[in-house]
Amino acid sequence: MKQKLPEPMLQALAEAEAAAARGEVPVGAVIVSPAGEIIASAGNRTLQHKDPTAHAELLAIRQAAQGVGSERLMNCDIYVTLEPCAMCAAAISFARIRRVYFAASDEKMGAVENGLRFFNHPTCHHVPEVYSGIGETAAQSLLINFFRLRR
């Protein structure tokens, strides 16, 4: 039986699809308030913005912080289609995001369960709860198809 994905992950996947349509690596992120409302969503825009920091997670964090009027996103959760890199993991920690839900693992650049494992370092001041594999098949398919077309 297929598991129904939570609405925020469905929205993150839609952001990833939109990123792919723009020629960006298909990664999407959504931030959910403590009340369970989606308060920010974004897809990668590194090419469009000519900015290597324009990852979906950072764009969503910026949007959410502006929306709540604080640099801290206490008790908010982030849903992202790909395991966050070191830069995004650091931003998640700095924003004090409560939980990270991600779909596909990233053995090459991921920094949560792979590679650096940012949240496991003793110098990491805020460690969110992490849940992986939610929507993994859909996210992996988007990434595989995107890169297959480019090679």
SS3 per-residue string spanning 17-57:
HHHHHCCCCCCEEEEECCCCCEEEEEECCHHHHCCCCCCHH
Average pLDDT for runs of 10 along the chain of length 151: 85 98 98 98 98 98 98 98 98 98 98 97 96 97 94 74
Give residue 2's pLDDT.
59
- Encoding tokens for residue 130? 């992490």
| Catalytic hit among 15, 24, 57, 83 | 57
pLDDT of residue 149: 87
Residues 6+ apart with CB under 8 A from 89: 111, 112, 116, 118, 119
Alpha-carbon distance of 81 to 5, in angstroms, equals: 12
DSSP bridge partners of 132:
102
Phi-psi region of 36 (alpha: psi -120 to 50; beta: other; left: phi over 0): left
Q: What is the pTM of this model?
A: 0.96
pLDDT at residue 1, as a whole number: 45
Cα angle: 40, vertex 52, 145; to 5 degrees = 75
Q: Is 57 one of the catalytic residues?
A: yes
Query: What's at 63, amino acid-wise?
Result: Q
pLDDT at position 3, please?
66
pLDDT at 150 (0 to 100) = 83
